[in-house]
Structures are given as C-alpha cells and as structure tokens.
C-alpha cells in the first residue's frame, strides 16, 4: 500500500470514528430514507393533476385527460406507497429503537394513506382555485390564470403547502417538511406544513416570506414579500399543543417586511399592517398599523445641489 492509499485509509477510519462519536446525524439502521428528489417528483406529479395541461408538456383535452389522470394516479400511488413505507419505518424505529415495525402493516397503512391523498385531490383543487382567483384579483399585473399558475411563486408555494398540510394532518413523518423545503428552495417562501391557511390566500412577490408551524390564517389574506409570521421564543419547552405563532383573521393585508410574532397575537379582521411594522401584540378588527415616515438626509453632492437650489 503506497502513501496515498495509507492516507485515504486513515481518512476513512477517522470518518467512521466520527460516526460513533456523533451518531445523532447518522442513519445506519439498514433502511432507506425517502430522498429529496423523489419527494420533489411526487409533489410535481400531484401538481400536474391539480393543474392538468400546465406542466411537463402534457397536451390534454377531454378525451385524453381520462387516460392522463389514470396513468398519473397509478404512478403516484405506486411511488407514494414506497416513500410512505420508508418514512413510517423511520418513525417506528425512532419510537421503538431496534424495531422498525411490521412491514406488511406499514405497507397497508401506506397504501391507505396514499389512496386518501388521491381522493382528496378534488377538495384540494377546489381551494387552490380560490388561491388562483385571489392572485388574479389582488395583482393588477396578473393577465390570466395561465400566467398566475405557471409563473407566480406564491401560487407554487401555496399549492405545495395545501398538499403538505394535508399530509401533516395525517401525522405522516418527514414527507410534509420535505415538500415544504422543496418549494422553499424554488421560491424563497418558507411555509411550515403545520400552518393553517384559509381560502383565497395570496402571496405577492413572496421572496423571504416565513410562516411558522402554528400560524392560523383566515380567508382572503394577502401577504407581500419579506413578511414573517413567527414565534416570540424558540424554546421547545411546553411546545406540544401550544400556539407559538400569530393568528391572522379574514381580509387582512400585510405589507412587505412586516414581522408579527407570538401565539397570543391576533390581527383583527380587515386590518392592514404596513411595511416593516413589528408587532408582538394583538390589534382589533379594522385597524391600520404603519410606521411614521423616517427622517431622510442627503450627504455629499446631492446635499450641496439641494442647498444651492
């Protein structure tokens, strides 16, 4: 063995030693985890039957749509079952170390969960339709449903969220967060799958929006870029069952850069939150909150030009 081989062998041993020392970031129990790419593909397949004819070059009409939906549903069902079995196996192993759960039981549970999700597609489409309409109504630059569906990051984010939130409510591990992070990576919009969001939701522009796990958002709410709906504390103490993030009631508009924090913070119906506002307390319905205009100074050449004028 030459010097390079000795060095490589030593590197391998050091890495293996680190596996023993930092075991909480290993997954060495012999089972596979769902991969990011296959979860992203699953989400994209689901989106393709929510918005048929819009993505992946599918040319559909009333005749071909039946065959398209049949093929896509069969593919989703087969793929989703396998992903769910692996996700559920991880959960079982975490709860009962050394016992990954009975494979037939997990397969049966995964099959039912996958079927339930497909059966929920018409309901998901109905509410996502209201989100598309909210974008058309809320953005003067929106020219058509096609433009909104194919190019608005807010529509991508809320569509993925509707799917992920459904899975989250079924207490499925891993997959909802992985879907949320897929669309977060694509759009810059970070919505925890636990967040409850009502109909006709619109995120305009969207980059930098953060919506926490226990956020409750009513109907016809509009957010702009850079809005944070977060928690006042990051402590995990008393986390289970507690609302850590704000409630936004119906018909509220929150402008760019605003931050609203705290599980006891309620933004009353019909309120308007101005840009860069920081709120940690509730406000009643119909309230407008704005920052006073900042003081603006001119230095250098511009200031001299103004003084000469």
Domain ranges of the chain: 28-188, 195-294
User: 92 falls in which pLDDT band (50, 70, 90)?
Assistant: low
Residue 97 reports pLDDT greater than 80: no
Question: Per-residue pLDDT averaged across 1-28, rounded?
Answer: 87
Question: Per-residue pLDDT averaged across 29-58, rounded?
Answer: 90
Q: Which fold has domain 28-188?
A: 1.10.3130
Residue 118 reports pLDDT greater than 90: yes
Q: Which residue has the higher pLDDT, 75 or 22?
A: 75
Of 195-204, 234-243, 291-300, give the range with the top mean pLDDT: 195-204
Burial of 175 (0-12, 13-18, 19+ CB in 10 A): buried
Residue 200 reports pLDDT greater than 50: yes
Percent of the chain with pLDDT over 70: 91
Residue 100 reports pLDDT greater than 50: no
CATH of 195-294, one of 3.40.50.1000, 1.10.287.3510, 2.160.10.10, 3.30.980.20: 2.160.10.10
Q: Using one digit for the tens of pLDDT, what is the confidence trace for 223-267?
A: 999 999 999 976 666 566 789 999 999 999 999 999 999 999 999
Closest CA to 265 of 279, 286, 250: 279
């Amino acid at each position: 063995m030459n010097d390079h081989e000795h060095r490589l062998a030593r590197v391998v041993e050091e890495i293996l030693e680190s596996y023993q020392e930092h075991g909480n970031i290993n997954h060495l129990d012999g089972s596979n985890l769902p991969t990011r790419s296959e979860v992203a593909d699953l989400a994209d397949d689901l989106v393709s039957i929510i918005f048929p004819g819009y993505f992946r070059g599918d040319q559909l009409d009333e005749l071909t749509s039946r065959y398209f939906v049949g093929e896509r549903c069969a593919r989703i069902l087969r793929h989703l079952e396998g992903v769910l079995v692996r996700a559920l196996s991880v959960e079982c192993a975490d709860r009962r170390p050394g016992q990954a759960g009975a494979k037939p039981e997990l397969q049966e549970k995964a099959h039912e969960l996958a079927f339930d999700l497909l059966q929920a597609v018409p309901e998901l489409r109905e509410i996502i339709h209201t989100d598309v309409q909210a974008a058309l109504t809320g953005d003067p630059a929106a020219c058509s449903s096609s433009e909104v569906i194919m190019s608005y990051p807010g529509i991508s984010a809320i569509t993925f969220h509707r799917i992920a939130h459904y899975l989250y409510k079924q207490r499925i591990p891993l997959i909802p967060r992985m879907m949320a992070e897929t669309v977060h990576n694509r759009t810059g919009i970070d919505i925890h799958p636990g967040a409850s969001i009502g109909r006709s939701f619109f995120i305009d522009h969207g980059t930098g929006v953060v919506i926490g796990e226990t956020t409750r958002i009513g109907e016809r709410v509009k957010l702009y870029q850079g809005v944070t709906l977060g928690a006042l504390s990051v402590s995990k103490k008393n986390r289970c069952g507690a609302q850590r993030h704000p409630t936004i009631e119906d018909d509220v508009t929150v402008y760019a850069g605003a931050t609203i924090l705290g599980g006891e913070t309620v933004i009353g119906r019909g309120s308007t939150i101005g840009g860069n506002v920081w709120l940690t307390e509730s406000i009643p319905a119909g309230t407008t909150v704005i920052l006073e205009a900042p003081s603006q100074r001119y230095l250098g050449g511009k200031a001299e030009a103004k003084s000469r004028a």
